[in-house]
Amino acid sequence: MFYTLPGVPKFDQNGLWRFHDIFFSAHGNLKQTAIRLVQRSARGLDSHEISTLVGLPTGSSYLSRLRDIPDISREWRNGRWIYLAGEDAARKKQMGERSDSSDQAIGLPSAEEAVDILVCFIRHPKFDPEGLARQLGERKSCITAAMIRNLLEHHGLSKKKRRLPGDPMSD
């Protein structure tokens, strides 16, 4: 547990302030902060978005504790958990904002394209997004390296990947 003087933190629009690797919240503890962030979000938040905001490692098991909190709800959508307001009218409004077309507007592929990308990513873990796009281009010419990069970053899967000598795509 860390403390700071009241006048020191400069909270951002989400009520968060970071000092080195320590996060402070104007909303209280991590649970209260997660609830507040989800409720104030126009589209709800997926687990990666919450983790990024509050400084949790991607894939943290902490977020599974949020499923039993009545102030928020969660739905499985397009291969990920989406955390939404618990109140019906607010949840419906958030779901309306979080449509497939809005995901594509921020550069995410469709669910079908995401499956193709992830299968290729598993088969060719050393390829970077450009290499994956070339590999997929033989079957799916509409999938771009930018879409792949956005998908991997959105789900916390992006790492600097290097192609090794002898890999088919390194020539």
Residues 19 and 5: beta-carbon distance below 8 Å: no
Edge-to-edge strand ranges of the sheet holding 80-85: 45-46, 80-85, 72-77
Which tokens belong to 168? 């088919």
Domain covering 16-98 in this structure, CATH number? 1.10.10.10
> Residue 13 to residues 16, 74, 140: CA-CA distances in angstroms?
7, 23, 40
Report the candidate in 50, 51, 41 with the shortest Cα–Cα distance to residue 95.
41
| Domain boundaries, given as residue ranges, for the chain | 16-98, 107-166
User: Cα 104 vs. chain centroid, distance in angstroms?
Assistant: 14
pLDDT of residue 37: 93
Tens place of pLDDT for every residue, the chain, 171 residues? 788 888 899 998 889 999 988 889 999 888 899 999 999 999 898 887 888 888 887 666 777 788 888 899 988 876 678 899 999 999 999 988 876 545 555 577 777 888 889 999 999 998 988 888 888 876 665 778 888 888 888 777 876 444 444 545 444
62: exposed, middle or buried (C-beta count within 10 Å: 0-12, 13-18, 19+)? middle
DSSP string over 77-90: ETTEEEEEESSHHH
* Sequence-separated (6 or more) residues with CB below 8 Å from residue 48: 58, 80, 154, 155, 156
